[in-house]
């Protein structure tokens, strides 16, 4: 009986998947269809609230950098990348882009829905990033916003909960079925798609940086630095939401010939 419910629920997952694509394919050729049931405006409002709270907290702690050489450096790189986002979607030129730099020893950056970019001084200083390497990371994070991966994750979570609830309601042993379904949905939906999203962000980011005049080979180098900095701290790829360092480096290497003409034709910084 449990197998019957699992099979039925997995079919529901397949039927729920895929409605649209938020971006044009670009030269890199991103064509995956996306499952989106949450309005973009809803996700952007949530992101804007979180972004404002983050900045307010950083300011109160005296770690919000709003001017100076590091901030201006990021602002210049961001401006070049943002100008190239039209290759993937035309509406981004009307987005209210913002940049936040936080003085914390954190190896991280992000771009929330609607174009809210956050960088930490830790990733710039600890990895000794060049402008092109910053462009690789920032392009990757901007790509998440272009593809609306946050909105997609919320939509997937809602779809997952729908499947689990349906299976539990029809089973004689709802708790047991729900537990199994939770594991199945996590492995078959959440984890693989999360790795897909990270790979998409790598590839779109690579094209963005090339179009903006930053050497795409720097993307390979920055992930080598990241892999070295986090060595021994990452889980196995099968249970990770990110591709392994070796796999993402191999993927970025294989795409160099595709984006090199974009870089050669671009106006350099």
Which residues are tagged catalytic? 141
Q: What is the DSSP string of 197-257?
A: HHHHHHHHHHHHHHHTT--THHHHHHHHHHHHHTTT-SPPGGG-SS--HHHHHHHHHHTHH
Do the beta carbons of residue 143 and residue 171 sit within 8 Å?
no
CB 141 within 8 A of CB 201: yes
3-class DSSP assignment, residue 17: coil
3-state secondary structure 101-136: EECCCCCCEEEECCCEEEEEHHHHHHCCCCHHHHHH
The sheet with strand 98-102 has its strands ordered as 64-65, 98-102, 116-120, 109-112
Give the 3-state secondary structure of residue 269.
coil
User: How big is the CA angle at 30 (ends 28 and 36), to the nearest 5 degrees?
Assistant: 155
Measured CA to CA, the distance from residue 71 to residue 73 in angstroms comes to 5
């Amino acid at each position: 009986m449990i197998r019957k419910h699992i099979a039925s629920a997995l079919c529901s997952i397949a039927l729920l998947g895929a409605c649209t694509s938020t971006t044009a394919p670009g030269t890199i050729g991103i064509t995956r269809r996306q499952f989106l049931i949450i309005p973009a405006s809803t996700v952007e409002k949530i992101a804007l609230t979180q972004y404002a709270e983050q900045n307010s907290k950083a300011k109160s702690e005296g770690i919000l950098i709003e001017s100076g050489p590091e901030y201006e450096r990021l602002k210049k790189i961001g401006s070049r990348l943002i100008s190239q986002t039209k290759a993937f979607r035309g509406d981004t030129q009307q987005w209210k882009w913002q940049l936040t730099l936080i003085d914390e020893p954190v190896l991280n950056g992000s771009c929330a829905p609607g174009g809210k970019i956050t960088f930490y001084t830790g990733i710039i200083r600890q990895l000794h990033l060049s402008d092109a390497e910053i462009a690789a990371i920032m392009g990757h994070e901007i790509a998440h916003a272009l593809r609306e991966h946050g909105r997609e994750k919320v939509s997937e979570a809602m779809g997952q909960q729908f499947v689990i609830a349906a299976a539990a309601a029809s089973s004689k042993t709802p708790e047991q079925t729900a537990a199994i379904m939770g594991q199945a949905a996590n492995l078959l939906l959440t984890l693989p798609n999360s790795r897909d999203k990270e790979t998409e962000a790598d590839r779109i980011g690579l094209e963005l940086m090339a179009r903006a005049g930053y050497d795409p080979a720097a993307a390979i180098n920055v992930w080598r630095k990241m892999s070295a900095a986090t060595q021994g701290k990452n889980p196995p790829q099968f249970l990770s939401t990110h591709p392994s360092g070796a796999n993402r480096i191999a993927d970025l290497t294989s795409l160099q010939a595709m984006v090199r003409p974009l870089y050669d034709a671009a106006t350099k910084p």
